[in-house]
Structure 1
Amino acid sequence: MTLNWEQVVVHAADPATLGRWWAEALGWVVAYTSDDEFEIRPEADRTPGIDFVRADEVTRHRGRLHLDFRPVDQAAEVARLEALGARRVDIGQGEQPWVVLADPDGNEFCVLAARGGE
C-alpha cells in the first residue's frame, strides 16, 4: 500500500483571504477555489498543498497543527512575512533559534534557523 501526502487542511473564517496570504508568503499558486474552500500548491500539479476550508467557528486557542519552515535566510524571511501581515507571538518558547509567527487568522507557525545554524 502506498500513502501519498495530498494536503494540509486549515480551518479559516475566510478561506480565500487566508489562502491568498499563504500563497503570497510561500510563492505558491492557487489550485482550486469555491465559496468555502481555497487550495494552494507549490505548482498547479504538485502536492502536497494547503487547503483552507471555511469553518463556522474558528477556535482561538493553540491549534493542534503547527507548520515549520526552514528558509535560507531566517531574518529576511521573518521580515518579509511580517511585511505581509504576520506577527510575532510568544507561546512560551523562550530564547530559541526559531521565530514563532502567526498568520492573519492567528495560526502559529515557525521560521527555523538555516540548516547548520547559519
Structure 2
Amino acid sequence: MALHLEEIVVDCRDRVALARWWQAATGWQVVGEDSDATELAAAPGHTPSILFVEVAEPKRGKNRLHLDWVPGDQQEEVERLVSLGASRVDIGQGSTSWVVLADPEGNEFCVLAAR
C-alpha cells in the first residue's frame, strides 16, 4: 500500500490572515474555505494543499516539521518574502545554502538555493 500526501495542516491563531499571507507568498489559490479552515493549492485538484486551521494556542518553540521551497532566484525570493512580512530566523543552522524564514505567526520554512 502506498501513501499519497493530500494536505499539510497548519495550526494558526488567525487562519484567514495567515492563509492570505501564504497565498501572496506562493501565488497559490484558495480552493476551499469554511468557518473552520482555509485551504490553498497550486490549482484546484492539485495536491498537496495547505490547510490553515485556527487554534487558540500560540506557537511555542521551533517547528518539528517545516516546508522547503525552491525558487528560481533565492536572494530575490527571500527579499520578496521579507517584504511581505516574513522574518529571518536563526535556529542554529550556521552557514548553509538555505535561508530560514518565519511566516507572520512564526512558522519556520526554508528557501533553498536553486537545484
- Do the two structures share a fold, i.e. TM-score over 0.5? yes
Identity of aligned residues (%): 54
Classify 1:92/1:40 alpha carbon distance in 2 versus 1 (closer, same or farther; 3 Å): same
What does residue range 22-101 of structure 1 map to in structure 2 within 5 Å? 22-101=22-101
RMSD: 1.0
Give aligned pairs, total. 115
- Answer yes or no: is the 8 Å Cα contact 1:100–1:110 preserved in 2: yes
Q: TM-score, normalised by structure 1?
A: 0.92
1:2 CA displacement: 4.0
Deviation at 1:44, TM superposition (A): 1.5
**In 2, are the aligned partners of 1:11 and 1:58 still within 8 Å (CA)?**
no
Gaps spanning 5+ residues in structure 2: where?
none
Mapped contact 2:59–2:106 kept (Cα < 8 A) = no
TM-score (norm 2): 0.95
Moved over 3 A (4+): none
Unpaired runs of at least 5, structure 1: none
